[in-house]
Amino acid sequence: MAIQQPATRPANPRFSSGPCAKPPAFSLDKLSDAPLGRSHRAAVGKAKLQAAIEGTREVLGIPADYKIGIVPASDTGAVEMAMWTMLGERKVEMLAWESFGAGWVTDAVKQLKLDAEVKEAAYGEIVDLASVDTDNDVVFTWNGTTSGARVPNGDWIKSDRAGLTICDATSAAFAQRLPWDKLDVTTFSWQKVLGGEAAHGMIILSPRAVERLESYTPPWPLPKIFRLTKGGKLIDGIFEGATINTPSMLAVEDYLLALDWARDVGGLDGLRARANANLAAVQSFVVENDWIAFLVDQPEYRSNTSVCLKFTDERIADGAAFAKAVVKRLDAEGVAYDIGAYRDAPAGLRIWCGGTVEAADVAALMPWIKWAFDTEIEAQAAAA
């Protein structure tokens, strides 16, 4: 006997954790002002890039003396740019609790061949932050996109630290409050919380990071796209809209549209409230169903963007196969796209709950997850 499907469907079934859902106000015709076919170095192009930089500063509340640059290769390019140009001056601690953080460990240890102190935690957990010495350089991910585990605050970072903090904040920026006074290098990409287009990264430098760049030369060669200084001085143009390589002006226009929408919903506070409401909808569902749980046990470490869930029912014989089957059913019904756990993460679901997603759509999805679970349990029993 077929299990009855829920009556309500999400209006937007896009719950991918990257590229993420476009802002609700998005439409292609709103990008018609993009200066296509024009040089990004022409006045019109440079003005658009400068507007993207200053809009980022405004919405995120970034201090006036911090530098903001648009760089190639998404968040990955921004993080690697920071590592290649600044690490090696002193001891470094690498913190990892999911796949992207583990990737930065590989860069530091196997590519740059640094004598790094590596601190790792399992998916769903984070490392003991009290053990971190911020007189060393520290590289970490604020929000684990593939694990749903986030840093709760910046209290563990000393105000009078001697080292630099290099923070991959790609799935935290615009959804979680970042303590700028505790962060020296912060990176993110447009395709995450604001639902922008891919391939563009942002790098934000504190005055301490600029001082490192101007006083330290790493012993390894630097590709052109990593070079932030010339003649021992910061290349200021990069932080005024003169990008290192050619950006997509269509993607820039899309980001400007997203920033306008962010202002309309209340800026950072409004974006955080929207993400928190989405997380609350998932939390209510988990509390009501004992066969599903958060991958992150401790609520203070739970992400409000990349929300990761696991199936806990003892009747499930093969967790990975079961999760894939549930994801496939939801996709086939057109109620949720791309919500399978990341390939390196424990089997389960990953639901993007950033501010571009509507709480009503998250709430509508929850009964469908129960339908898919019940249907797959029944199919598994019939096949046994």
DSSP string, 118-142: EEE--TT----GGG--TTSEEEEES
CA 344 to CA 356: how far, in whole Å? 26
According to the model, what pLDDT value does residue 130 have?
A: 98
Element (H, E) at 152: none
DSSP-derived secondary structure letter, 291: T
* 30-352-126-82 Cα dihedral, nearest 10 degrees: -20
What b/e string do you get for 119-142 counting C-beta neighbours within 10 Å, with b at 16 or more?
bebebbbbbebeebebebbbbbbb
Per-residue DSSP letter, 109: I
Per-residue pLDDT, averaged over 130-153, amounts to 98
Pick the CATH number of 28-263 from 3.30.420.40, 3.40.640.10, 3.40.228.10, 3.10.290.10: 3.40.640.10
pLDDT tens, position by position, 170-190: 999 999 999 999 999 999 999
pLDDT per residue over 297-331, tens digit each? 999 999 999 999 999 999 999 999 999 999 999 99
Question: Given a cut of 70, is residue 104 above it in pLDDT?
Answer: yes
85, exposed or middle or buried, with CB in 10 Å at 0-12, 13-18, 19+?
Answer: buried
pLDDT of residue 1: 63
- Give the pLDDT mean for 82-100: 98
Other CB atoms within 10 Å distance of the CB of residue 266: 13
> Are 214 and 233 within 8 A, CB to CB?
yes
Alpha-carbon distance 289 to 7, whole Å?
Answer: 19
Per-residue pLDDT reduced to its tens digit, 352-370: 999 999 999 999 999 999 9
Rounded Cα distance between 28 and 123, Å, is 38
Q: What angle do CA 38, 43, 47 make, to 5 degrees?
A: 100
Q: Hey, which residues does 225 pair with through a beta bridge?
A: none
- Mean per-residue pLDDT for 40-47? 96
What lies within 8 Å, CB to CB, of 282 at 6+ separation is 307, 309, 351, 353, 362, 366
Average pLDDT, the chain: 97
Q: At what angle are helices 359-383 and 267-288 packed, to 10 degrees?
A: 30
CA angle 54, 58, 60 (to 5 degrees): 115
Under CATH, domain 267-383 is a member of which superfamily? Aspartate Aminotransferase, domain 1 (3.90.1150.10)
Nearest alpha-carbon partner for 136 in 74, 92, 195:
92
Domains of the chain, residue spans: 28-263, 267-383
Task: Determine what percent of the chain is predicted with pLDDT higher than 70.
Answer: 100
Q: How far is CA 236 from the centre of its chain?
A: 26
Q: Is the pLDDT of residue 2 over 90?
A: no
The Cα 356–Cα 55 span in angstroms is 17
Task: Determine the 3-state secondary structure of 331 from DSSP.
Answer: helix
Q: What is the mean pLDDT of residues 33-46?
A: 97
Report d(CA 196, CA 229) in Å as an integer: 28
Helix, strand, or coil here: 186?
A: strand
* Neighbouring C-beta atoms of residue 152, cutoff 10 Å: 14
pLDDT band at 336 (very low <50, low <70, confident <90, very high): very high
Total residues belonging to the chain: 384
Using DSSP's 3-state secondary structure scheme, residue 349 falls into strand
What tens digit of pLDDT does each residue of 237-275 get? 999 999 999 999 999 999 999 999 999 999 999 999 999
Distance CA(349)–CA(338), nearest Å, equals 9
